[in-house]
Structure 1
């Protein structure tokens, strides 16, 4: 009987060791791997192919290495204005024909201007992939630049500014406002949506020069994601993009930010707001450093999800607000930018709550943050980050994947970085996070912006 028990115990421990070994092996190989094939055309165009045959669709994404940050100093909002111009017609596709071509073939399209790039994409049935490559090459080759198109789009963009910012409660708060308050370098601190006078002053020569300078193949990345034959797509890309001439690119301006040594505090009056609001921003560590990845996990711990520390304190415990929003890079994600960046969170709160009460609650969380950072909390943050990353990669038929591939190609010349992100976050230790808190989440590295509602009490109805 004792011998049988001993044998059973041996078998049990052997089974546990095998299961442990199997789990460790599975953990080491379970990281999601994105197919990446990267090459460059002779004219400098960066090309990334990433196959995914889970659905008969394909994405064409073209990213140009020009965004808000380095637009001309006397032409604020010009990068965004030019994004609109790219839909106004090209050599073979007149006005609205590009949009109609995509939509009539069952696809969707859009474009956007961010801090460090302007992008355009189409999601179409896979058998229409060649058509989309031809269309994108056609407008990279040359735009239909006319005074009529320019005047029309100046009006569209100015109306967009009026609707989204000037005539909107909390307009521009904090995504447009905070960079202007927190940063010192003009490239990072100007009104990138555009001053109305600057938008009006743009002329045809400006548009032509901007296109010639920044919309060249050697300043762009092209990603194709979806269901396709790689060899066939390579042939199409060479055929349609290969003979577009490259350009002499200007020197990159200095976009660095000085180290912040004092806390900044600002109040913005808003006659359209009915509640006060507050935004708190900290300057980020440099991209791709260990501290950068540590800040990514701190973001998960502090503001992402119902169990985040700031939400627990400000919403559940104190009841100052119903929601806390935040993150790294309000105009994208923590991966798709190049220059200096802010980690930020914001909230609205009731009129009978003071900003001092809100900031006291914020400080109580941050002052005790190190004690909350343990191996267990870091592991939980890693799970949340991994989930967020996988959502990003799989969203919109793979558009998130195309976004990261183009961003890493433009900024790092290495789209394969997409497959190293999870491992970089796994290197983050509680000790590294503690050091990052000391270096970056210090009061002297933050900017606080308060929206002050200009309430007219005389117009308040009484019951």
Structure 2
């Protein structure tokens, strides 16, 4: 793990400093411990919507982007199920500007009606374009809602329904801001050509007097164990059928998480993976097939998905896929394949270490998990994981009663038999 130093302000803001004198740049990364897992039914998508509001101006900064551009910087943000992350890259000599901007919108964000409505329209349009009007765009809406019955992971970060976004009130928005956008719910990372003394001074100057927020933070309810396979069929105007199979798996800090990650690496990462070789290259059914984990903090999903070639159904594809999964569960992963997968992890780790922004974001993310030291510990443990351990977890996770299956199918042609959208427990 990269070198870092840490201190905590009196208001609870955790600050991490990564000094790198070999660059003229600096990054200020501010992570808030709030995502869609902190939402409630009827108000879904609020965390992502609020990310947009954060660029609508604050008390002393009417235009956030303009202020950044004036000092040669750039900024962006993203929201996930678990966090909302804001980052600014700029010449290190101008780092105080980043402190000024982020502290001002933590303390005094502009929540005027014109800003609220303008960003509401932007998010609604994003929802429609990316999820409702794209082929297969709402697949994860259906799959999450099928796999989860209680936990907020049952809706995507964008939200469950457009109507939720349409109905956010000013009171909803202000309550969200006061609850989650507070120093004691945030992690600040400053990386680049900076010094600890400098960042201690700037942190105290710009963030030290910001008060803590409301005491109540919403914790999501636990998802009950799944005991029966669930299936759902959706018809839409798409070019071919698609198949999605989701299996419940351990959370990010739980035993089995890394093994589940390695399961998907062996099964579906890259052109030499099992699913690519056996289902895509050696059958006429699959146009593509991949496996991945969602990587969420709470127990989440291992997903295997594929697109069919024209003329083949999702049900036909599932039969072939299940055969490969069952074969994998009684196999032994060869040392060559396992080492290749681990080499890919090492290559990714090296790539992430090259870029200053990636280093800052990794530092913030693992600090949010509990400690930046977890990054190195996780990597070391992954390299030590044996084939038998991976297969053992495959036999715990890849079982029919733990599966939620989405058949995303072409709307039958005129004259064909049209079925309604169905959902059943099988």
Q: Which residue of 2 aligns with 1:399?
A: 357
Partners of 1:295 and 1:88 lie apart in 2 by 40
Equivalent of residue 85 in structure 1, options 41, 53, 71: 53
- Selected match of 1:338 from 291, 297, 304: 297
1:273-422 matches, within 5 Å, as: 273-329=238-294, 334=295, 337-369=296-328, 370-394=330-354, 397-412=355-370, 414-422=371-379
Q: CA deviation at 1:251?
A: 4.5
Secondary structure at the residue paired with 1:222?
strand
Partner of 2:422: none
Q: Does 1:190 align with 2:158?
A: no
Does the 8 A contact of 2:151 with 2:220 survive in 1? no
* C-alpha distance in structure 2 between counterparts of 1:261 and 1:385, whole Å: 33
Distance 1:377 1:406, change over 3 A: same
Distance apart, 1:192 and its partner CA: 4.1
Question: Match of 1:172?
Answer: 138
Task: Say which structure is richer in helix.
Answer: 1
Distance in 1, matches of 2:84 and 2:400, equals: 34
Deviation digits for residues 43-68 of structure 1 (CA, Å, limit 9, x no counterpart):
11111222334432211111111111
Q: Which runs of 5+ in 2 are unaligned?
A: 416-426
Contact 2:275-2:290 within 8 A present in 1 as well: no
Post-superposition shift, 1:365?
Answer: 1.8
TM-score, scaled to structure 1: 0.84
Aligned residue in 1 for 2:410: 453
- 1:255 pairs with 218, 221, 244, which one? 221
**More displaced stretch, 338-347 vs 128-137:** 338-347
Q: Residues 320, 185 of structure 1: CA spacing in aligned structure 2 closer, same or farther, 3 A cutoff?
A: same
Change (3 A) 1:54 1:447: farther
18, 41, 46: which one aligns with 2:14: 46
Conserved? CA contact 2:332–2:391, under 8 Å: no
CA contact (8 A) 2:248 2:302 kept: yes
Q: 1:232 aligns with which of 198, 221, 233?
A: 198
8 A Cα contact 1:255 1:339, kept in partner: no
CA deviation map 1:335-376 (0-9, x unaligned): xx3222211132211231122331122122211214142444
**CA 361–393 in structure 1, closer or farther in 2 if over 3 Å, else same:** farther
Name the counterpart of 1:434. 391
Query: What is the count of residue pairs matched by the alignment?
Result: 413
Task: Answer yes or no: is the 8 Å Cα contact 1:38–1:415 preserved in 2.
Answer: no
Aligned-partner Cα distance in 2 for 1:85–1:251: 20
Q: Quote the offset at 1:98 in angstroms.
A: 0.9
Note if contact 1:48-1:415 (Cα within 8 Å) is conserved in structure 2.
no
Aligned-partner Cα distance in 2 for 1:457–1:377: 47
More moved, 182-191 vs 151-160: 182-191
Alpha-carbon separation, structure 1, partners of 2:270 and 2:47 = 34
TM-score of the superposed pair, with normalisation by structure 2: 0.91
Alpha-carbon separation, structure 1, partners of 2:288 and 2:6? 42
- Measured after TM superposition, the shift of residue 307 of structure 1 is 0.9
SS at match of 1:164: helix
Where in structure 1 do 4 or more consecutive aligned residues deviate above 6 Å?
none
**1:146 maps onto 2:112 in alignment:** yes
Structure of greater Rg:
1
Distance 2:77 2:22 in 1: 25
